[in-house]
A and B are shown apart, each in its own frame.
Chain A
């Protein structure tokens, strides 16, 4: 029952987002159609296009037509690529998803040891250093750190490619995730190719979450250290390694899980600049272009999809939290 209510609420939010974006992108000065068709377009073809896209109708009619289009799986034609936005998104979304998932995985893998060590060596030099690193990690302007990484790894060290998703032919499309597809088809050269292309942008994108997750794990581990059950294990001679990495970490990590879930939507925003810098063919780069060139269908479409992703992710994480911590479930 409660579940249904939240589901309904989720949909309400999505509808709200669609309305907001819809109005927003139509409030622009200047004529985007004229701009899109270029210098040589004459008034007639401009008018024809406007009619085709229904732009001269009152806004609520435009909105209903848009919603109607969605039910048919269409998000309106994009002025950037001259095909339906839904198609464009279908093509580009896996790239962004792969990037975000890779960055979060990297962040978690690095954050766990950093956080645990930091907590165990509290107030030592290592700890202060790690805290500093955490604060540094969230202070980078990602477009700049992207450029610096490109400079360093791409030019100075010259061992990572710095643009694009893959240099050679992509693996056969099963999931659209290059890493998975290449493994599934045993296409190891493609796997390596995709991996090295993923490395730099995923690293840049992982810096901020890495910083935050490390702090989170550190804080939780420190809480754990004063727990009675840890004392009991220590007092009776269980080895520190087991205590830290099994008993403490298990409890320290689950609250972090939900935070991690909430970070994924935030990463979508950061992806807008990272994809730009690394020429990553994802929806974030497309979205940035769509918005700045007044491609309203493209802009609304991308924003809608992103918000849906955000809302759905938050919803899932909320539900998951209830599962992981039974006390939450009981309180509801």
Chain B
């Protein structure tokens, strides 16, 4: 009985100390709060955007390319649409992209990686070699190719990026599995007759949860970078969708005179990715894990 209490006590202390450490890291707090704000804004977009119809195909040529002012806080784009409203809707798209990409990557990559690491032998070779093939093509290139292959639109670009992203989750899960499976508690479970599935998903997986969490946070940012890049290159969202990368691509034509259509969406991307990185970095320190 006392052992249990002691364990809980030690754990509580550990968490408290960790939280103190985290809160001292002001940067990650800033990142976390910005993200929270961004998510909130994205969810509430339809209600708080000043010109919600501008997020879609509305066209108001009479107010095209107006600089930031009181009525249009961030100015208007080449079709007269309010940039602020479009930014808010763009947040929904990018955050949704992060969720879709990471979900695909996680649920495909992690089980494959665990299997490869756990079973070893032929399974290992086959899975990891396929992962290697995918890894030797830079993310943007492959995502671009897949997106085009599926016929370029926003949803397909999300799937394409997810298709590319599984490889790094697979790698990570593989490496972690290799080191975790040496641990004694795994060996004892095996000798007690636990099924492979049980060991893999109820014993090995929870032990890499902190590493996976850090990776998910950091990768969310990078996934958004790739997603907006793909849209910028024309293989993702198509007009009039209010996607950040697309907005920059179209605003580009009006540089340097109208700088706001390109500046603000890019700034939004930057701020969002930075927040993910700040938070992820803080989490990385908090958990003491090593993830690149």
Contact = CB atoms under 8 A, between A and B. Distances in A.
Q: Direct A–B touching in the complex (beta carbon < 8 Å)?
A: yes
Interface stretch (B84-92, B108-116, B273-281): B273-281
B151 A273 contact: no
Contacts of A307: 136-137
Contacts of A150: 255
A25 B145 contact: yes
Nearest to B134: A20
Contact of A306 (B137, B146, B274): B137
Contacts of A138: 277
Given A24-B145, A291-B144, A135 B137 contact: no
Contacts of A238: none
B278 A13 contact: no
Interface string A264-275: 011011101100
A266 B138 CA distance: 6
Interface residues of A, number: 56
Contacts of A145: 266
Nearest to A268: B138
A143 interface: yes
A262 B139 CA distance: 14
Interface stretch (B14-22, B53-61, B204-212, B227-235): B227-235
Interface stretch (B68-76, B99-107, B125-133): B125-133
Interface residues of B, number: 47
Q: Is the interface of A mostly helix, strand, loop or mixed?
A: helix
B121 interface: no
B27 A132 contact: yes
A299 B137 CA distance: 12
Interface in B213-236: 221, 225, 228-229, 232-235
B262 A303 contact: no
Contact of B273 (A131, A141, A265, A272): A141
Given A9-B129, A144-B269, 6 more contacts: A25-B145, A25-B148, A141-B232, A141-B248, A142-B225, A306-B138
Interface of A: 9, 12-14, 16-17, 20-21, 24-25, 27-30, 128, 131-132, 135-136, 138-145, 147-148, 150-151, 154-156, 265-266, 268-270, 272-273, 276-277, 287-288, 291-292, 294, 299, 302-303, 306-307, 310-311, 314
